[in-house]
Amino acid sequence: MLIVIAAAARSLSLGWLHPLNWDEIEYFRATEWVSGGLVPYRDFWEHHTPLQWFVFAPVATFVHSPGASAILAMRWAQVPLWIATFVLMAIWMRRAGISLPATLSAILLALCSSMFMLPAVEYRIDSLGCLLYALALVLLQRNRNFEGGAALCLAGFANIRLGPLLALTVILYLFRRSRIAMLAGGIVTFALCSLYFIATHSAAIAFRRVWTENYLGDRLSKGTEGVFLHRLAGVFGWRPLNHTFDPAAIDVATIFILVFGVIGIGRALITRREHLFMLAIFIYIILRSRFC
């Protein structure tokens, strides 16, 4: 019941209370242009991998609003992806030996966490990437390694920022299980996806936009020093940049996630339970690559 209430409360911010983010406008335009037959990178500039735009292109063909309602429609369209992601993670947790109350509690905390859910309600490439990564974990857990490798590759085509996490996942599963089929699934999927860029004569420009320009942008941009610690401090209501404390900004659910998460990671590393041990390392890499 609490999960249903939390999900209903988040739907309010999805449609009415959460302002548009400029990334959403970028992703919607890319999706709209792909639905109109334009080729990513060749016909318009982008620096993200394009799978989200192709998946949601059929939805964009029915969206004709020139204003904010177009973005809101895409937000609602991706809700099934988050539902499926939570279902997959619940399946993964139960198979890993986590009790049903603990599994449901973890889902509830995620829904109540503003750090997670405020970006999640937006129309972003993260939704499809997270779904495919959760699917890959479930497939690998069930020893369907070829399909798991394919899902990992597709997650990269959905969100290039998952790259460090995907690479570590492959390394850990190869090191611990020697699943060559997982590599084969990823290679075959990458080759099939690459055929589109070869057929549309956009492979060279796609490589330059996604790899070269992202690398140069990261090297030349000046980010906030210690942004990861700033994000963590914000969860507790502290604003390091202006040295203020705002009790209303305290994110209780995220604090619970951090505290219980540290305890869980510690137990997983001590007991070295296979699935939980790898998940602990995955969480660390996600945090480092997302906020640092």
User: Looking at residue 30, what is its pLDDT?
Assistant: 96
The verdict on 210 and 246 lying in the same domain is: no
Q: Are 73 and 98 part of one and the same domain?
A: yes
Residue by residue, DSSP assigns 51-89 as HHHHHHHHHHTT---SSHHHHHHHHHHTHHHHHHHHHHH
Report the predicted TM-score, pTM, of the whole model to 2 decimal places. 0.88
Same domain, yes or no: 139 and 186: yes
How many residues in total does the chain contain?
292
Instruction: Give φ, ψ of 178 to 5 degrees.
Output: 55, 50
Among residues 221, 252, 268, the one where a domain terminates is 221
Whether 81 and 206 map to the same domain: the answer is yes
- Residues of the chain below pLDDT 70: 176-178, 223-226, 272-292
| One domain for residues 86 and 151 | yes
262 and 140 in a common domain:
no
Residues 233 and 181 both lie in one domain: no
Structural domain count, the chain: 2
- Are 48 and 33 part of one and the same domain? yes
State which residues form the domain around 161: 2-221
Question: 24 and 166: one domain?
Answer: yes
Same domain, yes or no: 33 and 178: yes
- What is the structure's pLDDT at 285? 56
Do 91 and 180 fall into the same domain?
A: yes
For residues 277 and 179, membership in a common domain is answered with no
